[in-house]
């Protein structure tokens, strides 16, 4: 099978799978609200793509929300680009997008770890552990194990490791909508956002996918159209994880 037909077949399966999952969302329990919710994003845009409407709903419910961005995504346009400028622009986009969702600049923390290698040594893990222990969330959200990208999978592993038994951990979907991986481990929940929160999320998503460099490239990189369609849906999927760590 040629690479073209392989990609075509993969995209067909992904499209059917995403449509079935979208329909199944209406039979899932509603994602609960925490009082203090920390969203851990491997890169700028993950927090909005995977949980933008949920963040808006949390704030409308009176919850406190903090976003921790591990890497500023300097490799999104390839290794040959000026990674420092890419990181600067992506951080600015993140602040714009999260402000649309209702967060202030003090609610977003950038750890500036290397893109493609987040949380790969004890110092990097210590940075995230410090943020969690000092802010004391009762809910921790991160991408899950079905996300394919190493930064997303490392984030899922480390968040489960550093969470204590008083903190609920949920995985949110970004690339799990697109890749044909086993992503429905744990109990699945859905956030069906209100019309106003879904509208707010659309505006925040637009910040990422419509902001381009002078050469026409999107700062967040080339995203598949099916992925963009999925993250624009009014449903967001989360999986509840079991924390088996006393964090001693």
Give the pLDDT mean for 50-64. 97
Alpha-carbon span 204 to 47, nearest angstrom: 10
Phi, psi (5° rounding) for residue 44?
-60, 130
Q: Tell whether the torsion through CA atoms of 139, 142, 146 and 150 is positive or negative.
A: negative
For the segment 76-134, what is each residue's pLDDT rounded down to a tens digit? 887 656 889 999 999 999 999 999 999 999 999 999 999 999 999 999 999 999 999 99
Alpha-carbon span 199 to 6, nearest angstrom: 35
Q: Which residues pair with 192 in a beta bridge?
A: 235
The angle subtended at Cα 57 by Cα 51 and Cα 60, nearest 5°, is 145
Alpha-carbon span 173 to 162, nearest angstrom: 20
For the segment 194-224, what is each residue's pLDDT rounded down to a tens digit? 899 999 999 999 999 999 988 888 998 889 9
Total Cβ atoms within 10 A of residue 174: 27
Residue found by looking up tokens 């088996």 in the block: 244
- Write down the pLDDT at residue 165: 85
* Alpha helices (H) in 30-186, listed in sequence order: 46-60, 83-101, 122-135, 150-162
- Write down the pLDDT at residue 17: 84
- Write down the pLDDT at residue 248: 45
In Å, what is the CA distance from 182 to each residue of 2, 144, 164, 217? Answer: 25, 10, 26, 31
Q: Which residues pair with 239 in a beta bridge?
A: 171, 188
Candidates 3.40.50.10320, 3.90.1150.10, 1.10.10.10, 3.20.20.70; correct CATH number of 3-241? Answer: 3.40.50.10320
Residues in the chain: 248
Q: Tell whether the torsion through CA atoms of 131, 209, 191 and 227 is positive or negative.
A: negative
Both tokens of 139, joined, read 């809910």
């Amino acid at each position: 099978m040629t690479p073209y037909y392989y990609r075509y077949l993969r995209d067909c399966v992904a499209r059917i799978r995403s449509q079935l999952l979208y329909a199944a969302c209406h039979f899932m329990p509603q994602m609960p609200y925490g009082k203090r919710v920390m969203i851990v994003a491997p890169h700028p845009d993950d927090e909005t793509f995977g949980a933008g409407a949920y963040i808006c709903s949390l704030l409308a419910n009176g919850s406190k929300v903090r976003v921790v961005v591990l890497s500023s995504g300097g490799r999104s346009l390839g290794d040959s680009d000026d990674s420092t400028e890419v990181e600067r622009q992506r951080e600015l986009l993140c602040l714009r997008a999260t402000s649309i969702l209702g967060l202030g600049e003090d609610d977003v923390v950038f750890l500036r770890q290397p893109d493609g290698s987040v949380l790969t040594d004890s110092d990097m893990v210590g940075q995230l552990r410090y943020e969690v222990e000092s802010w004391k969330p009762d809910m921790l959200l991160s991408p899950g194990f079905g996300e394919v990208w190493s930064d997303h999978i490392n984030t899922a592993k480390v968040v489960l490791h550093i969470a204590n038994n008083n903190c609920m951990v949920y995985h949110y979907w970004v690339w799990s909508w697109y890749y044909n991986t086993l992503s429905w481990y744990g109990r699945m929940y859905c956030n069906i956002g209100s019309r106003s929160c879904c509208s707010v999320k659309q505006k925040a998503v637009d910040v990422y996918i419509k902001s381009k460099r002078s050469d026409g490239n999107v700062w967040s990189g080339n995203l598949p159209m099916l992925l963009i369609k999925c993250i624009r849906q009014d449903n967001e999927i989360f999986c509840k994880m079991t924390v088996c760590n006393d964090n001693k």
